[in-house]
Amino acid sequence: MPTVLRMPEVATDTTEATLTSWPVPEGQRFARGDVLVVVETAKAAVDVEAEADGVLVKRLAGEGAELAAGTPIAVLAAPDETVTDLDGVLAALDLSTPPDRSPVAEPAARPNGRVFASPLARRMARNAGLELADIRTSESSGRVVRRDVEAAIAAAKASVPAPAPAPDPAPAPAPEAGTRPHRDVPHSRLRRAIAARLVESVRSAPHFYLRGTARVDRLLALRTELNAAGPVKISVNDLVVKAVAGAHRRTPALNVIWTADAVRQFDVVDVAVAVATPSGLVTPVVRDVDRLGVAAVSETIRDLAERARDGRLRQRELDGGTITVTNLGMYGTPEFAAIINPPHAAILAVGAAAQEPVVTANGGISAATVVHLTLSVDHRPVDGTVAAQWLAGLVELLEHPTGILL
């Protein structure tokens, strides 16, 4: 008997996604592990792989469709199974054939007054101040979808009468602040996801902050030597990420996350790196940073950053880790604090390296290159003494950077 392929829940905080492409045509056989469909969340593209050999009998959703997790998207059959009565199969699976797309039709009967709508349509109607019950649908099932809400919004705008001309040439009053010339930039899927995660972090994770400074003249000298000796160009941020991994090894009590039942401590060191993209900030994860050489860390970060800016990251590359490194030093920002990226226990904010006067060991004053660091910590799994020990270990590694290479 054929089976239904449904839109997967590709991330724990994602309830809907966009169907991007169908690599497998209808009627074609596929093998276990082949990519059947590619879907896109707010942050990443996800390959949905076949769990067994089979045939893609029928697509139930087209490319570009925004669908809730669990929505049927295709009918699959076993490799040796022949489907001759597709309508019968769809009926047996409690599915209907895709309806004709008429321009606008009245909604079908709604039992008990309930209005059926896609999650996206509900959100669009709510944001536009429209009642779902007043929206006509193009679906024979009576379900309100995105194009129906868009049509309702356009109709509402068209029905607004033009303002009457002023009765006399008296000067009009100054417009209120909200009506001054402006331009609204609609929220992108990524921007909405970022906003939701940051609000969740501020509400659920009790933040506390530790600040430190590190003299990085030796670190900069080491970077110069590494770049002169090898083909891979190492950045200061690459060395900071390696130092963070070293601090995790020295103070493993910060290499944790908070869960509902326990503090989960990891034996591996995975570090997320904040990357600015045209759509917003994403935080791909570098795996096993403590086991990688500096050049490998640099190449991995560069690859993740390039694909993040092109929107080509996979969901698995955004999952995991216990800490994020965010660096605004390249913009000249001397110091800042950041919001923890859930479910991480901490985020390290790195400022610009700048010349500052420092006190020498004999009490004199000299110039040194200094970086200001701010560690934001979730107080649920991590106590202040642990965070202080971790930050001290990080400063030690940045000021004596040969330890980063060990």
Question: Which active-site residues does the annotation give?
Answer: 379
Helical spans, DSSP H, in 175-293: 189-204, 217-229, 236-250
Distances (CA, A) of 240 to 31, 110, 149, 219: 43, 59, 48, 9
**Residue among 292, 298, 303, 299 at smallest CA distance from 270:** 292
Q: Which residues contact 329 (CB under 8 A, 6 or more apart)?
A: 236, 237, 350, 351, 352, 353, 371
Distance between alpha carbon 61 and the CA centroid of its chain, in Å?
A: 24
Distances (CA, A) of 339 to 145, 204, 375, 380, 399: 35, 12, 10, 15, 26
Distance between alpha carbon 177 and the CA centroid of its chain, in Å?
A: 34
For residue 123, give the 3-state DSSP assignment: helix
| Burial environment of residue 314 by CB neighbours within 10 A (0 to 12, 13 to 18, 19 or more) | middle
Helices and strands in the chain: count of H runs, count of E runs = 8, 19
Distance between alpha carbon 316 and the CA centroid of its chain, in Å?
A: 11
Q: Which helix (H) or strand (E) holds 357?
A: strand 354-359
Tokens of 174: 């100054």
Q: Which residues contact 37 (CB under 8 A, 6 or more apart)?
A: 5, 19, 20, 21, 22, 23, 24, 48, 73, 74
Q: Which long-range contacts (CB under 8 A, 24 or more apart) does 288-295 make?
A: 289/241, 289/242, 289/244, 289/245, 290/245, 290/246, 290/248, 290/249, 294/226, 294/234, 294/238, 294/239, 294/242, 294/404, 294/405, 295/226, 295/230, 295/232, 295/234
